[in-house]
Structure 1
Amino acid sequence: MATTPQTNVTLAEFAEALDRFESFALCGHVSPDGDCLGSQLALAHALRAKGKRAVCLLAHDDAVDKSFLFLPGANELIPACEFESDVDAFIAVDVPNLERLGDAARVHESAGAHFTLDHHAVESCMAEYNYVDPDAPATGMLVWRLIGEMGVERTFEMAQCCYLALMTDTGRFQFQNTTPEAFVLAGEMVSAGARPEECSQEIYQRRSAASLGLEGVMLSNMQVAPSGEWVLSYARLDDFERLGAVKADAEPLIDVLRSLDGIRVACMLREQEDVVRGSLRAKGDGIDVAALAREIGGGGHKAAAGFTYKGSIDDALAEIPVLLDGLFVGGEGKE
């Protein structure tokens, strides 16, 4: 990949630079998803295989979604607010900007050297060593390539974490970001020991009763645009309290909405104490939901993005449909 303002080293140079340091703190973005967690855990395993010290941090002290706890090393994740040690270098994994590092920004600032490995489009470098590839379907795929440059044997632990990262960010290899290389590297991961059946079962086939209850709420609240271009739904805070649901129980709902025949964009809103969390998914080419997310302080990818709406759920329900309509001009999605 060519050097750009966001990428100032090759993966080989990135790996060579890692060799210069002995201790690392790794952290992904706030509200970590499968790609974020799998990527940082896999890279930490690779660093330890080279005799380095590596600790994986959580940007906030929220509990990790229990569906990810089967990943090798997940039980060793530490909230950044509890981490007090000094490290030679900090690696931001799957993080497009410092704001998304949450409590780990303090650790980032105190580290002697800084690395960024990501597949989100960014406006500027935030480290001395940056490798950013927006065309990669998952940061986990970049980690897998990097491990190949590090000269360590690819183990089950690395393969399982990278496979989970790639599987989740491609929507089980169904999203429009699924490239031929994604299948090739997934095959390499399986050859190295990754277990597709286990990853699929843990992530997609262990839903709680509360999650299914939320799905009923979501279906009852579903709104389809008169044009048929988008679908939106929501769950209020009292729905979560009544069902005993937690954040993780709402994660599958956006993909249920996305499955509605004929729509091109799905939006799921989740009320919290002071804000509303939103998830966006596109179906088909030519629509950039990240552009909408950026309008309200969020971000992500063309086909999958998220945002935090600073207002009430009722205000969001009035404003978001207007923004969704704005994605379409003359029946065509705007990029």
Structure 2
Amino acid sequence: MLTPQSNTTLEEIARFIEAHDTFAICGHVNPDGDCLGAGLALEHGLRALGKQVTGLLATEDPVEEKLGFLPGLENLVPAKDFTDEVEVFIAIDVPNVERLKDAAAVHDRAKHHITIDHHASETSMAELNYVDPASASASDLAWELLKLLNATGKDQALCALTGIMTDTGRFSYQNVNPTCFIHAAETVEAGAEPNLIAREFFQSRSLPSLRLEQLMLSRMMFFCGGAFVCSYLKDADFEEQGAIRDDAEILIDILRGIAGVRVALILKENGNGEIRGSLRAKDETDVAQIASDFGGGGHKAAAGLTYHKSLADALIEVPTDVIETCFPEDAEAEVERLCILIRSLREELDD
């Protein structure tokens, strides 16, 4: 079901694309497999139609190394380095201008704007706005659009299937629906190799990532009868283990996979004075509501946030919100226990 802000169809977007020539495509800051997969799939497809297309990155930060197999990834341009004018800016997998970061300036310079997304948002930033929260991934929507444009192909298929597989956790998350299986079959028929995606993305963890997992597991804190688990990583952990930030991306799913856990949270110092929080749910619990309380967002079962005070403060405020929102019957006693626990860790956290 489309959001109230949606005002078009994929068919209308396809006709609009056919009528224009120059495009910039960009997703959200810190792009994941779905964001990059959807954007690159569209980029390859529009180029196959003879369009002039530039794929952008919202910042100059490096993307996750495990996604380096995606065709065309090496040609993406940091948005701050792109000064050309384009007719159409396509925002993919991003709900608002703030999440475009440096690409917001390119968005503002463009004559026309299209948003294709599966994140519900109360605002819109495009004349053509298509947002379907029921879609398992933005790559599902990109693949549907490419079919309407008659612009599918092997590279498009690999990029789209990567987005579908990563955003559904290899078809294991609550967002899985029949459509994503249909699209997966279509992309494989078009030449995508699921084993390549599995090998390069899901089966290529670094030793530093495993060492971070060991630290995370040693710091697990369980609340509400084991239904809520929380852990954390410090900047020093990354430095001491020779790890990069991407090495920690998989860790939230380790916590979610623990038997009895309904909600999982990991808080990570981000090297710039910010704390990045990742939330996951295994049932109908809405963790996007928690993330939104801190200016973040996402989906009901998977959301993220950025926190701007200390790690110690984050480890009190964010878990408290989780407990009070998701487990109100246990809130008073569990929040008190949380505060006592974090106070006992204050020296370590401030070190």
The corresponding residue for 2:97 is 98
In 2, Cα distance between equivalents of 1:151 and 1:195: 21
The corresponding residue for 1:329 is 328
* Post-superposition offset of 1:151: 2.3
The corresponding residue for 1:297 is 295
* Post-superposition offset of 1:248: 0.5
The corresponding residue for 1:204 is 202
Q: How does 1:126-165 map to 2 (within 5 A)?
A: 126-152=125-151, 154-165=152-163
In 2, Cα distance between equivalents of 1:188 and 1:330: 47
In 2, Cα distance between equivalents of 1:121 and 1:226: 29
The corresponding residue for 2:62 is 63
Aligned residues of 2:95 and 2:124 also touching (Cα < 8 A):
no
In 2, Cα distance between equivalents of 1:221 and 1:5: 42
* Post-superposition offset of 1:126: 1.0
Tell me the secondary structure at the aligned position of residue 200 of structure 2: helix
Tell me the secondary structure at the aligned position of residue 39 of structure 1: helix
Aligned residues of 1:25 and 1:56 also touching (Cα < 8 A):
yes
In 1, Cα distance between equivalents of 2:27 and 2:319: 31
Q: Quick one: structure 1 residues 270 and 143, their matched pair in 2 at CA, closer, same or farther if it must change by over 3 Å?
A: same
In 2, Cα distance between equivalents of 1:307 and 1:37: 20
RMSD: 1.3
Tell me the secondary structure at the aligned position of residue 167 of structure 1: helix
* Post-superposition offset of 1:39: 0.3
Q: Report which stretch shifted further, 124-133 or 51-60.
A: 124-133
* Post-superposition offset of 1:330: 4.2
Q: How does 1:231-242 map to 2 (within 5 A)?
A: 231-242=229-240
Give the partner amino acid of 2:131: V
* Post-superposition offset of 1:215: 0.5
The corresponding residue for 1:15 is 14
Give the partner amino acid of 1:208: S
Aligned residues of 1:160 and 1:195 also touching (Cα < 8 A):
yes
| Identical-residue share of aligned pairs (%) | 50
Q: How does 1:119-268 map to 2 (within 5 A)?
A: 119-152=118-151, 154-268=152-266
In 1, Cα distance between equivalents of 2:95 and 2:225: 34
Tell me the secondary structure at the aligned position of residue 226 of structure 2: coil
Tell me the secondary structure at the aligned position of residue 120 of structure 1: coil
Tell me the secondary structure at the aligned position of residue 63 of structure 2: coil
The corresponding residue for 2:309 is 311
Higher helix share: 2
In 1, Cα distance between equivalents of 2:224 and 2:121: 35
In 1, Cα distance between equivalents of 2:195 and 2:329: 43
Aligned residues of 1:5 and 1:125 also touching (Cα < 8 A):
no
Unaligned runs of 5+ in 1: none
Give the partner amino acid of 1:185: H
Aligned residues of 1:5 and 1:124 also touching (Cα < 8 A):
no
CA distances 1:116-156 after superposition (whole Å, capped 9, x unpaired):
0000001122101111101001000000110111123x211
Q: Which runs of 4+ in 1 moved over 3 A?
A: none
Give the partner amino acid of 2:281: A
In 2, Cα distance between equivalents of 1:17 and 1:142: 16
TM-score normalised by the chain length of structure 1: 0.96
CA distances 1:187-238 after superposition (whole Å, capped 9, x unpaired):
1111111110110111111111110110011011111114222101111011
* Post-superposition offset of 1:18: 0.8
Unaligned runs of 5+ in 2: 331-351
Q: How does 1:40-55 map to 2 (within 5 A)?
A: 40-55=39-54
The corresponding residue for 1:81 is 80
The corresponding residue for 2:335 is none
TM-score normalised by the chain length of structure 2: 0.91
The corresponding residue for 2:343 is none
The corresponding residue for 1:280 is 279
In 2, Cα distance between equivalents of 1:95 and 1:181: 21
